[in-house]
Structure 1
Amino acid sequence: MNYVIGVDLGTSAVKALLVSREEGAVTAEASREYPLYHDYAGWSEQEPEDWVQATLEAVREVAAEAGNPSEIKGLSFSGQMHGLVLLNKDKQPLRRAILWNDTRTTKQCRRIEEMVGEERLLSITKNPALEGFTLPKLLWVKEEQPELFAEADSFMLPKDYVRLRLTGDAAMEYSDAAGTLLLDVGRKEWSREICEAVGLPFSLCPKLLASHEEAGTLQEDIRNATGLEEIKVFAGGADNACGAVGTGILEEGTVLSSTGTSGVVLAYEKDAEKDFQGKVHYFNHAESDGYYSMGVTLAAGHSFSWFKNTFAPDKSFEELVKLAESSPPGAKGLLFTPYISGERTPHADADVRGSFIGMHASHTLGDFVRAVMEGITFSLQESLSAFKAQGKNVQKVVATGGGAKSSFWLQMQADIYNTPVVKLKSEQGPGLGAALLAAYGLGWYASLQEAAGEFAEEAERFEPETENVLTYSRLFPLYQEVYASTSSLSTALKDFR
């Protein structure tokens, strides 16, 4: 047997997958959690060493399942995006990592817009200045912790730091670098112009690799800690890019709709010059010649879990979905906006808050649950609408995450998107995508498309139902009006939070 390992470094835990070439399947998996630190409001940090130790434990567990370590040929990574790991000249972290969901950098975002220019920033990086990206974090450390910043020699993103610890080689790959606001996405090179405009040393930027390129081999201490041999380690990709690989989003016409804590709508792109004017994200894909556009709902599954925990803690998610099934499309005129943590796409607004609109005395718990599920899906539809407005022909949507666990919700997505929605037989997402990058790097497959074709098999398909499509086509414009009608109220209510 021959195996590869895919490591997915998430925000709350790392997952390792052992993938068999001969069986074309995931044969073992293991995960380890690590803490998240919120020392102040809006701060979100982690200790890089926690990632390393958790990764070693998870890899050791799945490696043992292979039986013979010589049968494991390669390893690659998927990782949470945007997080800043600042290193000194000895490649040691200078502080905790500042994560993607840290919101302390609003002032730095406005300064980037002033120093670089909003239009110029979009033309180079394809993305606006948002708190989640890496460049604002670098500027925050420079301004708020200048003595520490003076020791900085380079920076890494989370999975790239773990790979550095495993191999001793420092590098970053394009799909994650695209989320820093420092990469010229079209040219696939660091932007000296942006570094000079914001006053950052260009030397902070590490070398760049393609996602399937070899990035070194395991060091001796790592081999001893995991039971692995001197296997090849490949660069890997950002979690969303790897998720796209693992679900087969590698050609035009297929879109990913992922409903996790946050929600993602992701589409494959071939054109580096497509201009969404910052309304959706635009990044380099893990597939070396591709790109992907992406919209984000900050509180997708989180809105559902918040509602359950707040209003129906004694009921299971399955019971709540069953209640929602008794409510008609449109939930008897009840709309929900999932802005409970602010919003990202298409409204980059950290202050806006969620709402129920249209409540009346005859509404039941089932109506509220259905409104929450519809509101989450309407938010994802906003990203899909932006894709279609650019002329994208969306032939099918691959649904993953919590939104794919219920046939009822899958049908709702097909009706709101007015597009066939499919569920895959096996859903391993980013970790599988990382494993497939290793398999492709080893030469097991002629292309990533061929590799993904063995794993991204369709299990069920849901076609839009005409009557429901008509109902939702009337409701969606009303949903879109809620943001404009409530954003000023959200701002006015800040003093009372």
Structure 2
Amino acid sequence: MAYVVAVDGGTESLRAGVYDPSGACLGQASHPYGTEFAPGARAEQNPEDWWTALGIATKAALAKAGINPKAVEAICLTTTSCTVVALDAEGNALRPALLWMDVRAGAEAQAVLATGDAALASNGAGRGPVSAEWMIPKALWLKRHEPHIFDRATTIGEYQDFLTIRLTGRRVASLNNASIRWHYSTARSGFAASLVRALGMEDILDKWPPEVAAPGAVVGTLTASAAEHVGLHAGVKLVQGGADALIGMIGLGVAKPGQLALITGSSHLQFGVSDRAVHHPGLWGSYPDAVYPARHIIEGGQTSTGSILQWLRRLMGGTMDLDALNTAAARLEPGCDGLIVQDHFQGNRTPYVDPLSRGAIIGLTLAHGPEHIFRAIIEGISLGTRAILDEMAAAGFRSTELTVGGGATASELWLQIHADTSGLPVCVPASGAAPSVGAAVLAAHGAGHFGSIDEGIAAMVRPGRRIEPRPREAARYDEIYRSYRALYPALKDVAAQSTPRRAPETASRSPE
């Protein structure tokens, strides 16, 4: 029997799983790492923590699977996207990574949009959005504010690229990451050379990995030292993966035009598959060939979703009983006795693309308890998803169901509220964690078990349950949704004026 290893490097931990070609997960393990937050919506991680976590989690997953590591044929990585690293010639980090949710580069994002370059056509037909989260704004921030780091860097890439270099010694970017966050396009000449020249940072073209490989392509084999670190052998193939949420589409079986995926976790991402290009203000994409050959991906996203519940847990001293809160919240009526939450705790990704927007809880009274706030957060996040689906419909993309993966699938309440607020049936595959399953499909495809990603999906992704929207609750949420949409214009100026002024820039510490 042959096996593959799927790795999912997330926001809070790295998870590794051992799969067989039927899609069965034989063993999995995870290892956590921390994030440093700072004023100005900054968030950083130490890349060495990812490398440590990869070794610990992979070895533990192999031990749980109880297999001979020599039977593993391939490994595939999926990681957070636009988590930007600056590396020296040996692949060591020159500073902490700018995590995907770090939006310090707001001014740089505006500078990118102001160029009017043709590469921006995939973002609202050139009218935006351009997010402060993305590669080019973050790289431009480094060049402007930490030129000593930018100039020293041999490689400016992503979380995925750091692990690729560590595992194989090769500098190869993922077509998936580059398409969705670097303005790379297979429909053009690749990297956005004219865009970076217009920004005065054409030297980054020599710092980005010189090769780009599509999901499912073989990048190389593990070096002897890397194989020892993860408990495998040097003949194991590294198969190209990509952004955790996009690879999660594969794990959900969302591959046909018209299908729609909702990836949940610390953030929410909405991805539709189209057989044509779709460009619309307030949406990202569409991206040709980013996941599947000859198909386009249209994207929406919410920066803070599950992370808001983690914030609530911290406020409650870490004592939040999720089961008890879910039970109590399920007894409440839609609207939580007058509470509405705006889910922009770390800015808004889409449809407003406003890094200065902030979260809000409206309608609090002394009669409200933790269960009201808990449910109102879930409702606010779900209504934020509906706002994005409405923008997709305005662009001409509509789906008849919502396929969901990630953390929200552990809560029947959350799934039901998503169905009720969107008015769409919610489907949850039985295959488990979508990014890991997607990485396993790619690894098996790269190892030669399947002739295409679609064949791998048919063999490895298992159908699950379906949650229908409830007419009475859906009608009530239609009313609440109108109030939710009124919050952003009402609070926009207040949030912008109350955002702390940027402190003087100081050199960031190097990772230990």
User: TM (normalized to structure 1)?
Assistant: 0.91
Contact 2:241/2:439 (<8 A) preserved: yes
Cα deviation, residue 40, structure 1: 6.1
The 2-side partners of 1:364 and 1:141 are apart by: 44
Cα deviation, residue 28, structure 1: 0.8
Cα deviation, residue 395, structure 1: 1.8
1:55 counterpart residue number = 54
Contact 1:125/1:182 (<8 A) preserved: no
1:220 and 2:221 are equivalent in the alignment: no
2:255 counterpart residue number = 250
1:350 and 2:355 are equivalent in the alignment: yes
The 2-side partners of 1:155 and 1:360 are apart by: 49
The 1-side partners of 2:420 and 2:267 are apart by: 21
Q: Select between 357-366 and 75-84 the one with higher mean Cα deviation.
A: 357-366
Cα deviation, residue 277, structure 1: 2.6
Cα deviation, residue 323, structure 1: 1.9
1:430 counterpart residue number = 435
1:274 counterpart residue number = 278
Runs of 5+ in structure 1 lacking a partner? none
Structure-2 change in CA distance of 1:344 and 1:257 (3 Å): same
Over residues 448-478 of structure 1, what are the superposed CA-to-partner deviations in whole Å (9 max), with x where a residue is unaligned?
2232233432322111222222222222122
1:86 counterpart residue number = 86
1:205 and 2:208 are equivalent in the alignment: yes
1:176 counterpart residue number = 177
1:443 and 2:448 are equivalent in the alignment: yes
Cα deviation, residue 240, structure 1: 1.3
2:162 counterpart residue number = 161
Structure-2 change in CA distance of 1:191 and 1:492 (3 Å): closer
The 1-side partners of 2:328 and 2:452 are apart by: 45
1:491 counterpart residue number = 496
1:24 counterpart residue number = 23
The 2-side partners of 1:314 and 1:94 are apart by: 37
The 2-side partners of 1:496 and 1:143 are apart by: 18
Identical counterparts, % of pairs:
26
The 2-side partners of 1:353 and 1:50 are apart by: 30
Contact 2:405/2:433 (<8 A) preserved: no
The 1-side partners of 2:309 and 2:31 are apart by: 25
Over residues 401-458 of structure 1, what are the superposed CA-to-partner deviations in whole Å (9 max), with x where a residue is unaligned?
3322222332222111111112222321212211211111122123222322334323
Cα deviation, residue 396, structure 1: 1.4
Other structure's SS at 1:378 match: helix
1:101 counterpart residue number = 101
Cα deviation, residue 89, structure 1: 4.3
Question: Superposed, which structure 2 residues align to 1:313-392 within 5 Å?
Answer: 315-359=320-364, 366-392=371-397
The 2-side partners of 1:42 and 1:476 are apart by: 27
2:120 counterpart residue number = 122
1:409 counterpart residue number = 414
Structure-2 change in CA distance of 1:46 and 1:367 (3 Å): closer
The 2-side partners of 1:77 and 1:48 are apart by: 15
User: TM (normalized to structure 2)?
Assistant: 0.89
Over residues 134-191 of structure 1, what are the superposed CA-to-partner deviations in whole Å (9 max), with x where a residue is unaligned?
1122112212222332233332211122111111111111111124334136337112
Cα deviation, residue 124, structure 1: 5.3
Structure-2 change in CA distance of 1:41 and 1:386 (3 Å): closer
The one-letter code matched in structure 2 to 1:234 is: V
Structure-2 change in CA distance of 1:186 and 1:288 (3 Å): same
Structure-2 change in CA distance of 1:39 and 1:322 (3 Å): closer
Structure-2 change in CA distance of 1:211 and 1:259 (3 Å): closer
The 2-side partners of 1:278 and 1:356 are apart by: 24
Structure-2 change in CA distance of 1:290 and 1:407 (3 Å): same
Structure-2 change in CA distance of 1:251 and 1:147 (3 Å): same
Cα deviation, residue 384, structure 1: 1.3
Contact 1:121/1:128 (<8 A) preserved: no
Cα deviation, residue 305, structure 1: 3.5
The 2-side partners of 1:184 and 1:243 are apart by: 21
1:76 counterpart residue number = 76
Cα deviation, residue 131, structure 1: 1.5
The 2-side partners of 1:145 and 1:337 are apart by: 34
The one-letter code matched in structure 2 to 1:169 is: R
Cα deviation, residue 6, structure 1: 0.9
Alpha carbon RMSD of aligned pairs, Å? Answer: 2.6
1:293 counterpart residue number = 298
Cα deviation, residue 41, structure 1: 4.8
Other structure's SS at 1:17 match: strand
Contact 1:218/1:232 (<8 A) preserved: yes
Structure-2 change in CA distance of 1:6 and 1:137 (3 Å): same
Structure-2 change in CA distance of 1:228 and 1:149 (3 Å): same
1:42 counterpart residue number = 41
Runs of 5+ in structure 2 lacking a partner? 503-512
The 1-side partners of 2:451 and 2:473 are apart by: 43
Residues paired across the two proteins, number: 493
Residue 395 of structure 1, aligned match among 400, 404, 408: 400
Other structure's SS at 1:44 match: strand
Structure-2 change in CA distance of 1:17 and 1:374 (3 Å): same
Question: Superposed, which structure 2 residues align to 1:229-240 within 5 Å?
Answer: 229=233, 230-240=235-245
